[in-house]
Structure 1
């Protein structure tokens, strides 16, 4: 993780927090150890734990899939906005067979936009959970509908939670909404230019109750701001003559065209572009201020494990399916330790060690049994990962969750890791024990070829680096 956390890190951490709140905590002893070794403060350790667990549980891929779907939804809405803008312009002008009522045409092109813009402005004065942006909320709703899978809804929910804590969600959804409206209005403006350039249109105003003076004042009022940008305003004589009762010269129609285009550009496109820039700037500022709320449920409980004031032994989590350890194999790296390593894992005190027939060149790490020995070995492997590791377990013992978790952690740090079951038939040992080892190791992600039925083939693999012979389900474990 980079020194400065990004939105993606907070998003992944929140996704993991929500998942653990819904489905229970995950087995994370290895991830907690890595986070404590690499993190500087509690907040950074929380983010590192989330990064490691997110990669293990494929939550990062879940977020990536949702992001792709969200982009596709946004592209679809953008295409729809462009088509809607062009269709609105063509519909407001008609096919040229009859005169265009300029005020009705302007209302048709800018009425809905003005209403949505006013609603967005009023949302700042009214305290509500919404952002006041119809198109932004529609996009978020579409992304939730497109999400598939039991955990798919976690990604948008976590994103909303993270963005809402610093008021960034309002500005991001506002930017999306303003961007879509700007695209629609730009398409509308370009369509106006194209249609007015290709067809001859006549413009007029029609009324039963209002006087001509009202239209003269209204035309001058609406045309004042566009005139500052270079658009023309029809003079009073042209406005009075545009009552539909007399023919107008071509120059008058050109003036009305310029006035109409200027109104769409000034009162439609320009405010949306300005608000788009404002929303992007505010979203960027608020995103930069996003941090981790360490007091949230799911984060606060981690403090005793990620930043404990002292170490203590004991049960680290409930014995539930969610706490099943998972082995994540990695490819051998150039910096791996080249010398093969041998370690006994929680063997009986009377077990002869080192085993007879230990190949030359193999480093014996001894029997790892106490909590301190496990911690020291894991920290050593964190600093210098082994290239080839053989772990020897007592076949007469029933594999428990802690042993499987330790084997998974050690194997995940090694380039190649195999397990040998050491024991003698009789004295309480049965084929059921071998089947239990196979079942628990397979559930943790170990392949059958990584488990040896006895020390002899395991030591041969350690000496030669050859693939292991898998244990048959009815095989006896021999010393």
Structure 2
């Protein structure tokens, strides 16, 4: 489902399209948020919270969410009690057929778990089953004819139809199975504490050796985590038993029973539950800010209003002067080569060999491999980067993305030196102004090459 903040934001959108009268005027809140900082999502969340200043919308959403979770909790408790009582009824006799009890415990559960796994691998059930959506429909959980309640109900119903809800359904199904198996485990432990059982087995077709092999295979996994497993002699003595067995043998069988329930029932079901929870988080519904409603608000926030009567020409952006650090430098050319191999000496004022030893020449940054190699180097070495940019280079989006990436990984900062071009060349002047604007917006210092 949507997060609580996304739900509130979407509910405001629905109600505003229905001309609902809110506690606070949406237009006033939207205008006040225009000059506030934050990402579009953060500002939309802030807007919805301020519009719902009395908390009425949040209370309705919280009531529906609380009742859905309450029903799921009650069902889990009921399933746990059913597992406890079912096993309590099954273990009334003092002499228990071990394999019969084990099949009753894990037979149907294993079939259902394998079936779920097969359907998942076949990528079936992409949509939420209709019976689940109708079962937990908010219409059944909350009564109210006002527009807020109806809009909230419709919002939850739209979420239940989302494709990611199949994982929520799987998570809930595994939760009920875990509750049932936990109830069975509690019943077994309780009965083994207060009563003394003898375990037997009987078979028309299987020999003693076959049952010994079967028991050893069954007990391999529980024995890995410390549960006892009956030895060959105990298995043979337990055939067709009608009276009490030695206590040591009974304890071996009880250990195998508890271990099998844990390792073949609870643990696989818990893994399946965790997988569904992870997939539900990955496929979780997100707020669609591309909707015209949200785009209109975002565009309004990004719009700059200018009064024509007192309009003043804004000065051209100028990149800040570069602050050259005293430590080691890494120099590189962006995309274009340059005739002077020591192009960086004039900007860094390094003319002696000792200073040059503190400079690492990385060469030309051209493709993705060069960028990946540079980023890996910067993550390992705290250096200041001097990037040489030729007058032919355009400050387009791809080039600026490279610039931003280098700036974010350079621990001692990034500075830029513009190369080539003449002051008489109109094209070079225009290109120089474009780079000044780009560097100024990013607060990246410009090195003087004079």
State the TM-score, normalized to the length of structure 1.
Answer: 0.52
Q: What displacement does 1:62 show?
A: 0.6
Tell me whether 1:259 sits opposite 2:256 in the alignment.
Answer: yes
Q: What displacement does 1:80 show?
A: 1.2
Structure 2 match to 1:145? 140
Structure 1 match to 2:269? 272
Q: 1:218 to 1:17 in 2, by over 3 A?
A: farther
Cα separation, 1, equivalents of 2:127 and 2:60 = 26
Structure 2 match to 1:294? 289
Deviates more, 1:35-44 or 1:255-264: 35-44
Gapped runs of 5+ residues in structure 1? 1-5, 313-479
RMSD: 4.0
Q: What displacement does 1:201 show?
A: 2.5
Q: Check the 8 A contact 1:120/1:131 in 2, yes or no.
A: no
Equivalent of residue 120 in structure 2, options 121, 124, 138? 124
Q: Check the 8 A contact 2:177/2:269 in 1, yes or no.
A: yes
SS of equivalent to 1:79: helix
Alignment of 1:408-423 (within 5 A): none
Cα separation, 2, equivalents of 1:212 and 1:153 = 67
Q: Check the 8 A contact 2:133/2:161 in 1, yes or no.
A: no
Q: What displacement does 1:60 show?
A: 0.8
Tell me whether 1:100 sits opposite 2:109 in the alignment.
Answer: no
Q: 1:165 to 1:96 in 2, by over 3 A?
A: closer
Q: 1:144 to 1:25 in 2, by over 3 A?
A: closer
The aligned length equals 298
SS of equivalent to 2:229: coil
Cα separation, 2, equivalents of 1:269 and 1:225 = 13
Structure 2 match to 1:184? 180
Q: What displacement does 1:233 show?
A: 1.9
SS of equivalent to 1:100: strand
SS of equivalent to 2:136: helix
Equivalent of residue 113 in structure 1, options 109, 122, 125? 109
Structure 1 match to 2:49? 51
Equivalent of residue 244 in structure 1, options 236, 240, 244? 240
Q: 1:70 to 1:244 in 2, by over 3 A?
A: same
Tell me whether 1:194 sits opposite 2:194 in the alignment.
Answer: no
Cα separation, 2, equivalents of 1:147 and 1:307 = 40
Q: Check the 8 A contact 1:73/1:143 in 2, yes or no.
A: no
Equivalent of residue 214 in structure 2, options 213, 218, 224? 218
Cα separation, 1, equivalents of 2:252 and 2:139 = 48
Q: What displacement does 1:37 show?
A: 4.3
Q: 1:160 to 1:146 in 2, by over 3 A?
A: closer
Cα separation, 1, equivalents of 2:82 and 2:266 = 15
- Cα-to-partner distance string for 1:334-382 (whole Å, 9 max, x where unaligned): xxxxxxxxxxxxxxxxxxxxxxxxxxxxxxxxxxxxxxxxxxxxxxxxx
SS of equivalent to 2:59: helix
Q: Check the 8 A contact 2:30/2:297 in 1, yes or no.
A: no
Q: 1:294 to 1:184 in 2, by over 3 A?
A: same
Q: What displacement does 1:294 show?
A: 1.6
SS of equivalent to 1:72: helix
State the TM-score, normalized to the length of structure 2.
Answer: 0.55
- Cα-to-partner distance string for 1:381-404 (whole Å, 9 max, x where unaligned): xxxxxxxxxxxxxxxxxxxxxxxx
- Cα-to-partner distance string for 1:97-153 (whole Å, 9 max, x where unaligned): 5x3222221122223432443344334321423579x9xx59972766323224546
Q: What displacement does 1:75 show?
A: 2.9
Cα separation, 1, equivalents of 2:53 and 2:161 = 25
